[in-house]
C-alpha cells in the first residue's frame, strides 16, 4: 500500500477535507514559512535518540502493531465520535453532554453475532468484534465533563440506529459501522464507531525524548525526501534532523537547540523539516521515535 503513497495520501487528505467526521480534530500549531532541510546527504542518527530509534525498528518486525497496520483496522484519524455540524443549541446542552448527563428514552439495539464488518476501498473486508450500542451509551454517561456535580441540564436519547461512515486507515479509506444516537430536540444524530481500532496502545510520550520526536507529513514522489513536523518552543532553533533506517522501517529524529525558558513566550510551534533517505521509502514504514507507532503522511503542514 505504501508503495502507492502519493495516491494514498491524496485519498486520505480528500477524506479529511470532505468532513467524514464532524467531531473535533487535532489542534493546529504555528508552522514555519519554509522547511528546514537535512541537505543532500543523509544524516545518520547519533546519541540517545539514535539508540531509542534502534529499539523502535528492532521491535517492529513481527509486532502486533505491524500486523494491525498491514492487515487489520488501524485508523489514522480521530474516530472517537462524529458530532453534527453546529452540534449544540446551547451551552447548557453542551455541558450536559460532556458531563454524561444523558437519559435513555429508547431501546438499545442488540447485536446477534457480536461482530461487525470493515470494508476497504480495494474491496477487501475484515470481520472484527462489535462495539455494542450499550457500550457506547455507558461510555457517554460515564464521563465527568465540565459540571459533574453542579449541572442541572440533561439530554434524552430518543433513538439509536445503525449506520456507516468512511474513515482514513493505514490501508486506505474504509467504511465502518457506527451507532447513530439522536438526542431530544436535535434533528441530526451524533455518531460513534461500532468497532474498535486494532492499533496497539501508544508507548512513551514525545516529552520523554526532549522534542526529538516528529510527526510525518508527506513523502516526495521519488520517495527520497520525507517531510515531518518537529515540535518546539517559540524561542528554540530547529536544525536539520537525522534518520535511522532499516530494510523494514525508518525513524526520523528532530534536532532542536533549546533556548533559555525565559526567552520563550510559551506558545507551541511546529516547523517542517525535510529528511533525505539513503534510498526510496518504498514499502517501508515510518515509525514514531517516542511511541514506536507507524505514521501516515496526512499532508497537514500545507
Residue 168 CA to residue 14 CA, distance in Å, equals 10
Q: How confident is the model at residue 255 (pLDDT cuts 50, 70, 90)?
A: confident
* pTM higher than 0.75: yes
Q: Which of 115-119, 208-212, 236-240 has the lowest mean pLDDT?
A: 208-212
User: What pLDDT score does 9 carry?
Assistant: 40
User: What pLDDT score does 36 carry?
Assistant: 74
Q: How confident is the model at residue 24 (pLDDT cuts 50, 70, 90)?
A: very low
**Predicted confidence (pLDDT) at residue 190 exceeds the cutoff of 80:** yes
Residue 72 CA to residue 128 CA, distance in Å, equals 9
Q: How confident is the model at residue 34 (pLDDT cuts 50, 70, 90)?
A: low
- What the block records as the C-alpha cell of 80 is 472517537
**Predicted confidence (pLDDT) at residue 25 exceeds the cutoff of 60:** no
| Percentage of the residues of the chain whose pLDDT score is greater than 70 | 78
Q: What string of H, E and C letters represents the secondary structure of the chain?
A: CHHHHHHHHHHHHHHHHCCCCCCCCCCCCEECCCCEECCCCCCECCHHHHHHHHHHHHHCCCCHHHHHHHHCCCECCCCCCECCCCCCCCHHHHHHHHCCCEEECCCCCCCCCCEEEEEECCCCEEEEEECCHHHHHHHHHCCCCCCCCCCCCCEEEEEEEEEEEEEEECCEEEEEEEEEEEECCCCCCEEEECECCCCCCCCCCHHHHCCCCCEEEEECCCCCEEEEEEEEECCCEEEEEEEEECCCEEEEEEEEECCCHHHCCCCEEEEEEEEECCCCCCCCEEECCCCCCEECCCCCCC
**Predicted confidence (pLDDT) at residue 28 exceeds the cutoff of 90:** no
Higher-confidence position of 178 and 14: 178
User: What pLDDT score does 269 carry?
Assistant: 81
* Beta carbons within 8 Å of 267's beta carbon, 6+ residues apart: 30, 233, 234
- Most confident stretch, 40-54, 166-180, 199-213: 166-180
Higher-confidence position of 115 and 144: 115
**Predicted confidence (pLDDT) at residue 130 exceeds the cutoff of 70:** yes
Q: How confident is the model at residue 217 (pLDDT cuts 50, 70, 90)?
A: very high
Neighbouring C-beta atoms of residue 81, cutoff 10 Å: 18
Cα–Cα–Cα angle for 107, 113, 117, rounded to 5 degrees: 100
Amino acid at each position: 500500500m505504501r508503495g502507492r503513497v502519493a495516491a494514498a495520501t491524496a485519498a486520505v487528505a480528500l477524506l479529511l477535507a470532505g468532513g467524514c467526521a464532524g467531531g473535533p480534530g487535532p489542534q493546529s500549531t504555528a508552522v514555519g514559512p519554509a522547511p528546514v532541510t537535512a541537505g543532500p546527504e543523509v544524516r545518520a542518527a547519533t546519541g540517545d535518540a539514535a539508540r531509542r530509534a534502534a529499539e523502535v525498528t528492532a521491535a517492529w518486525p513481527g509486532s502486533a502493531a505491524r500486523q494491525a497496520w498491514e492487515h487489520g483496522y488501524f485508523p489514522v484519524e480521530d474516530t472517537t465520535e462524529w458530532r453534527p455540524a453546529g452540534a449544540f443549541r446551547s451551552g447548557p446542552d453542551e455541558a450536559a453532554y460532556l458531563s454524561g448527563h444523558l437519559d435513555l428514552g429508547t431501546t438499545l439495539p442488540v447485536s446477534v453475532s457480536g461482530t461487525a464488518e470493515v470494508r476497504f476501498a480495494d474491496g477487501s473486508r475484515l470481520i472484527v468484534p462489535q462495539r455494542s450500542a450499550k457500550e457506547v451509551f455507558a461510555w457517554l454517561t460515564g464521563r465527568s465533563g465540565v459540571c459533574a456535580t453542579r449541572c442541572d441540564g440533561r439530554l434524552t436519547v430518543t433513538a439509536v440506529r445503525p449506520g456507516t461512515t468512511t474513515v482514513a486507515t493505514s490501508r486506505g479509506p474504509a467504511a465502518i459501522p457506527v451507532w447513530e444516537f439522536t438526542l431530544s430536540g436535535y434533528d441530526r444524530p451524533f455518531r460513534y464507531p461500532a468497532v474498535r481500532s486494532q492499533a496497539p496502545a501508544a508507548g512513551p510520550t514525545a516529552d520523554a525524548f526532549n522534542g526529538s520526536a516528529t510527526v510525518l507529513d508527506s513523502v516526495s514522489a521519488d520517495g527520497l525526501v520525507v517531510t515531518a513536523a518537529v515540535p518546539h518552543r517559540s524561542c528554540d532553533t530547529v536544525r536539520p534532523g537525522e534518520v535511522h533506517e532499516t530494510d523494514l522501517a525508518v525513524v526520523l529524529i528532530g534536532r532542536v537547540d533549546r533556548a533559555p525558558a525565559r526567552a520563550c513566550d510559551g506558545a507551541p510551534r511546529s516547523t517542517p523539516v525535510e529528511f533525505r533517505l539513503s534510498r526510496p521509502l518504498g514499502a517501508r514504514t515510518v515509525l514514531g521515535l517516542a511511541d514506536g507507532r507507524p505514521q501516515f503522511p496526512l499532508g497537514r503542514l500545507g
